[in-house]
Amino acid sequence: MTSFNRSTSRRLKKLTQIPSVWEGDRRPLSSPNQHSDSQEKGECILWVDYSQGVVRGMDVVASDVGPEAIVRTLMRAMEHPHSPARPARPQRIVVKDREIQFYLRGVLQDLDIAIDYAPELPLIDELFRGFADILDSQTPDLPPQYAQILREKAFAIWQAAPWEFLEEQQILSIEINKWDVGTLYASVMGMLGMEYGILFYRSEESLKQFRTEVLQDEESTEHLEEAFLKQDCLFLTFESADEDEDEDEESDLADLPSSEIDPTFGNIHPLEGLRSVLYDEEALVIFVAIESLIRFIRDHRRHLHEDIFPPLSRRYRISLPQSEESTKSVAVTVSTMPELAAELEEMAGFGDDEEEIDNLDSPNFQSLQDDLIPEDSFLSLGVVSWEMLEYLRKGVTYHKAGEIKQVGDGLPVILIQTSRPKAKIVIERIEAASGLRAICFNPGADPFDGDRYDLGLLQTENGELFLFGEFLDQDPIHVEARKKWNQRCKNTKGYCGLIIAKGLTGASRGNPQLRDMMALFETRSLSPKDLGIGTLQLMPQLKFE
């Protein structure tokens, strides 16, 4: 048994011993009338001065914490008690747990404090009854009868991951016509790898109004907050169960296992504000909406992956969980809304770029696009060993370019690391362009400041050119990397590769492991002469009203 250090015992014995009886106990925080798991809520340790009727110390600990915790709280109750009590040592302590009694007798044997047992602790019993009344009066986040099934449906949505192929403006209508709800308009969040969830707007007007107000002033935090609270919707969002992980702005929930994901339900209304509590009818509405959405995604997943948002509709009959409702099932129609999606895209000005890189000297060159590789990506020029290349070819999405002879230290590669959702979009866009034709480094210039660049370009099989990197021509690190790149490409007779990896916001940021690799595109390296577009110049795109 652990005991106090002698110096600690001497310090505690110097405290004035008062003729008081203290009660101490440790009990679960949950109310007897609640069905919640006390293991999750923890336990409350309480020390009170029965003689003076005051609480001297209180603490909340996890249920699996050992008996030392009750001693730590007792020490604080003696040396640093809650106001108005003063530091002191009691003459007698009473507990109602035999194990705690024997434990305290051993630990406190040098402090001249009598440790007794009593089947009841009047003051502490009264305090815990008060705690229980408060807990009983609190409204749970979800109605108890629907809590488990709603969480199950939330995790089914997480597994379905609709944000991998649906953008926020690609709205799905869910016609319910029950519980005073006509049609909900579902907006899926998550493709950008930031917030994950689904907003179920109660009206098309509320959806449009929110987007209009956000676009009017995207920089003002106060304006965004006000616009957010004016929404009229139910919501399901996903957060990290680890609070520290949740505070990390760079973390991507999609990289976490399901066990570390925590779904949250709630309601937003202009007159109510944000409420992370659902009442019975709201719980049934969102259950029906989520279940019908899961079925719709299951039935039309392949069509929803298409570049064009297709017109789709399907009717379902959703059985309701056991409730006081006389209705046993609800007929629901889920439909895509391509016209609304197009309208929202037009509102947001999708496709409008402030400036473009263009070359005016080459009649064969039309435009260079810079929207394929996400801006915050990690980029490196390197090499993959021949042994690792074999593992990659078997374990990731693989596009072969030809027979590559194993000469030198490996295959020269461009590695681009981003978040998983963004990586998936990059891969899909390259595949939609019939694959990758070549990788090239081409000279570029900024006529305004005189800087010269080495521009990294990807050419797809349909002839499009995409910028993947801008490197200052005189950067010594890049110059050295280019020398190695050129030599390795010479060894492989021009063969090279592009690797797309996830994990930018995880522990492997900047150093992706094999498990982070998502795709390998083998291709050829082109010289600027072979590409034949000359020096590219950065030119502003002027717009005239």
Lookup: tokens for 108: 């406190």
Q: What is the pLDDT confidence band of residue 333, given thresholds at 50, 70 and 90?
A: very high
State the CB neighbour count (10 A cutoff) for residue 49. 21
The radius of gyration of the chain's CA atoms, rounded to the nearest angstrom, is: 32
- Picking from 325, 545, 347, 534, the residue whose alpha carbon sits closest to that of residue 442 is 534
Contacts for 382 with CB less than 8 Å, ≥ 6 apart:
412, 413, 415
Question: b vs e for 174-199, b when ≥16 Cβ sit within 10 Å of the residue's Cβ?
Answer: bbbebeebebbbbbbbbbbbeebbbb
- Is the separation of the CB atoms in 516 and 501 below 8 Å? yes
Contacts for 67 with CB less than 8 Å, ≥ 6 apart:
99, 100, 103
Helix (H, G, I), strand (E, B) or coil at 360: coil
Lookup: tokens for 216: 């009017």
- Is the separation of the CB atoms in 268 and 235 below 8 Å? yes
- Is the separation of the CB atoms in 234 and 282 below 8 Å? yes
State the CB neighbour count (10 A cutoff) for residue 411. 25
pLDDT tens, residue by residue, 264-322:
999 999 988 899 899 999 999 999 999 999 999 999 998 998 878 999 999 999 999 87
Q: What is the pLDDT confidence band of residue 250, given thresholds at 50, 70 and 90?
A: very low
**pLDDT confidence of residue 36:** 45
| pTM confidence score | 0.51
Please state, rounded to an integer, the average pLDDT across all residues of the chain.
85
* Distance, CA of 490 to CA of 496 (rounded, Å): 10
Helix (H, G, I), strand (E, B) or coil at 492: coil
In terms of phi and psi (left: phi > 0; alpha: psi -120 to 50; beta: otherwise), the region of 353 is beta
Higher pLDDT, 256 or 273: 273
Within 241-396, strands assigned E span 261-269, 273-275, 313-319, 329-336, 355-358, 378-384
pLDDT tens, residue by residue, 195-234:
899 999 999 999 999 888 877 765 566 777 888 888 999 9
* Distance, CA of 46 to CA of 84 (rounded, Å): 16
Within 111-256, strands assigned E span 114-117, 172-178, 181-189, 196-201, 233-240
Q: Cα dihedral angle (418, 426, 422, 452), rounded to 10 degrees?
A: 50
* Distance, CA of 141 to CA of 328 (rounded, Å): 24
- Is the separation of the CB atoms in 522 and 399 below 8 Å? yes
* Distance, CA of 199 to CA of 35 (rounded, Å): 29
Lookup: tokens for 260: 């570390």
**pLDDT confidence of residue 152:** 95
Number of residues written out for the chain: 545
Contacts for 357 with CB less than 8 Å, ≥ 6 apart:
368, 370, 444, 455, 467, 536, 537, 538, 539
pLDDT tens, residue by residue, 508-520:
788 888 888 999 9
Q: Side chain identity at 445, as an amino acid letter? A: A
Cα within 13 Å of Cα(309), Cβ side = 19
Lookup: tokens for 113: 């404090």
* Distance, CA of 35 to CA of 254 (rounded, Å): 31
